Amino acid sequence: MSTSKPEDQRYLARAVALSREHMEGGEGGPFGAVIVRDGTILAEGWNQVTSAKDPTAHAEVTAIRRACQAVGDFSLEGATLYTSCEPCPMCLASAYWARVSRIVYANTRQDAAEIGFDDSLIYDEISKPISERLIPMDHLPSLEAKAVFDAWADKDDKIAY
């Protein structure tokens, strides 16, 4: 069931405008994002992977970081993420970590794949058993690593998230 709202077109158009502006400015790929809560734009982001030499500088992650800084909180509960393209697995995971309440997107992951941004490899990797993934992962259990977890569990003044 669609939950679209009247203002969606306006905010999504802003995300798309950012994607064109910064792509044409040579900052990175053609992706833009806007985070809105209670009728206010908390932050905007755009892809800066190549200009910042940061493979995690996707539009959505950038917008999430800026929005959290703007509101002084690690949670964006109640906020909507508008993005010019369906989020990749990293950005989708970031939206979950940030407690974003809703995502609105324009281009699909299939559209992105057609211009060379293919997320399907990563989606496929996540569902594979660890032993079958392309990047080898070795499990080396550590008593100290576990002790740190135990210390966190017992920590009285921790900020849970």
Residues belonging to the active site: 60
Q: What is the closest distance, in whole angstroms, from the C-beta atom of residue 117 to Zn ion in the complex?
A: 9
Compute the residue count for the chain.
161
Percent helix / strand / coil, the chain, rounded to 5: 45, 15, 40
CA angle 78, 74, 91 (to 5 degrees): 75
- Compute the radius of gyration of the chain from its Cα atoms: 18
- Closest CB to Zn ion among 1 and 20? 20
- Give the binding site for Zn ion (CB under 5 A): 58, 88, 90-91
- Closest CB to Zn ion among 127 and 131? 127
Do 67 and 78 meet the contact criterion of CB atoms below 8 Å apart? no
Q: What is the closest distance, in whole angstroms, from the C-beta atom of residue 64 to Zn ion in the complex?
A: 10
Q: What is the closest distance, in whole angstroms, from the C-beta atom of residue 30 to Zn ion in the complex?
A: 12
Which residue carries 């992650």 as its tokens? 61
- Closest CB to Zn ion among 113 and 147? 113
DSSP state of 37: E
Q: What is the closest distance, in whole angstroms, from the C-beta atom of residue 26 to Zn ion in the complex?
A: 19
- Closest CB to Zn ion among 40 and 120? 120
Which residue carries 């508008």 as its tokens? 82
